[in-house]
Structure 1
Amino acid sequence: MVLPATAAPPRAAVLLLHGGREHGLARPGEWNLPAVRMRPFEQAIARATRRTGVVTGWVRYRHRGWNGERRDAARDAEQALTELARLAGPVPVVLVGHSMGGRAALRVAGHPSVRAVVGLAPWCPPEDPVDQLGGRRVVLLHGDEDRTTDPRASVELVRRARQAGAQACALVLPGGDHAMLRRAPAWHRLTRDTVAGLLGIGPLPRVVAHALA
C-alpha cells in the first residue's frame, strides 16, 4: 500500500484498487494500463478532499490476476487495510475499485475500518458472498456498453447486498464502457462527488442519494 506523507494523522482515507485479470501470476508494473486508468479518479478525489484531513492511497497487487481460490487481489487489499490501520490508526476508509479491484473491495468490505465501497464496472460473480457488506454503504457504477463485466451482475449483487443489511445501489451510466474512457468526465465527476458524500465532506450526488434511499 502507498500513502502520501502527511504532517498530521488523517481523519479518513480513500484506498484505490485498479483492475486486473482473471488469471495471472506476473507482478504488475508501476505504470500498467489498469493503474493508469485510475489515475484521473485519484486526482479528482484528491482535489475534492484537499485540506479536509482525508488521504488517498493505493492497494499494490503482488500479482496481476485474481487467480481463483487464491483471491490474490483481495488478500492484498486486506493487507493494505491492516497496514493503513498501523500507520494511521482506526480511520474510516472508503474503497474505490475498478473491475477486479471492485471485486476485491467488495470482498474485504467487512474489515472494521471500511465504511463504504464504490465499485466502478465491478466484477461481480454470482457466487461471491455479500454478508460482509452488512452495515456498509455500497455504490456500484456500471456502463451499459460494458462488454467485459456485466452491469446486470452489479444490479443483482446490490439486491443480495440489501438483503444482507447493506445500504446499496447500482447506477447504470448510459454510453459507458468498461475502460471508462467513453464519457470519462461523467465517470470522474460522479465518482468524486460520491466519495466526498460518503465521507461527509459534501452532499451525495442527487441520483446516488435517491438510489440509496
Structure 2
Amino acid sequence: MPRPNRSSSVPAFVATTGGHLVQMNLMAPVLEPERYRDAIWITHRTPQSESMLAGQRAFFVDEVHARDWRTVLRRTPEVLRILKGNDVDAVYSTGAAMALVALPGARLVGARPRYVESLARSTGPSLAGRVLQAVPWVPVYTQYPQNRSWRWKYEHSLLDSFAVSPAGEPRTPQRIFVTLGTTRPWHFRSLVERVLEIAPPVRTSCGRPA
C-alpha cells in the first residue's frame, strides 16, 4: 500500500481477528476521537477483517497463533516497518498475540504503545496482558473499574455505551444466538455446554422438543 501524502502523524490500531478486532473497531473513536478515520489498521486477512476494514488503510500480516512466541518474533520487524513507514505516533491494541508483536517495540519507531485488555477478561488479564504488564514502557488499561491497580489503569469500557433498563415480564426466548471466538484450537465447548444446560427446551411448531 502506498504511503499517504500527509504532514501529520497518525495512530495505528492492531488486533488479532475475531472479537479483538471487533472491540478495537468499536473503541477506535473513543481512543482517538479526532484521528481514528485517518488511522492505519494491522491485522490478519480474513473475510471478517476484509469486510470490517473495507475502505480503511489496512495492512494484513500472516496469522500469529496464540502462544506462538517464535511467530511473534518473526512478525515484529514487519509490523514495525509498517508503523515507521506510515508516520505512526500511537499504537493501540486489544490483543491477543498481535499486541505482543506491535506494542513492546513501538517506541523504537517513535510510537507510543497502549494496551487495552479485552472486555472478556473481567476477572484478570489475559496471557498477553500479563506479559505486557511486565513491560514498563507499555501502559496497560482494564475495561473494569474493579480491576484497577498500581499497574492497570481504567478510563473507558465498551460497557459504557449500554444502559440498564427495568426488566419487564419474563419471556421464554424463541431463539438463542451464541457467537464464539475463531482462534484455533480452542472451540469454547464449555460455553456451548453451559448454554444448553440453562436454556429452556426448544419446541417445534408441532409442540415437540427439537
Question: Shorter-chain TM-score: what band?
Answer: 0.3 to 0.5
Report the structure number with the largest CA radius of gyration: 2
TM-score where L is the length of structure 2: 0.47
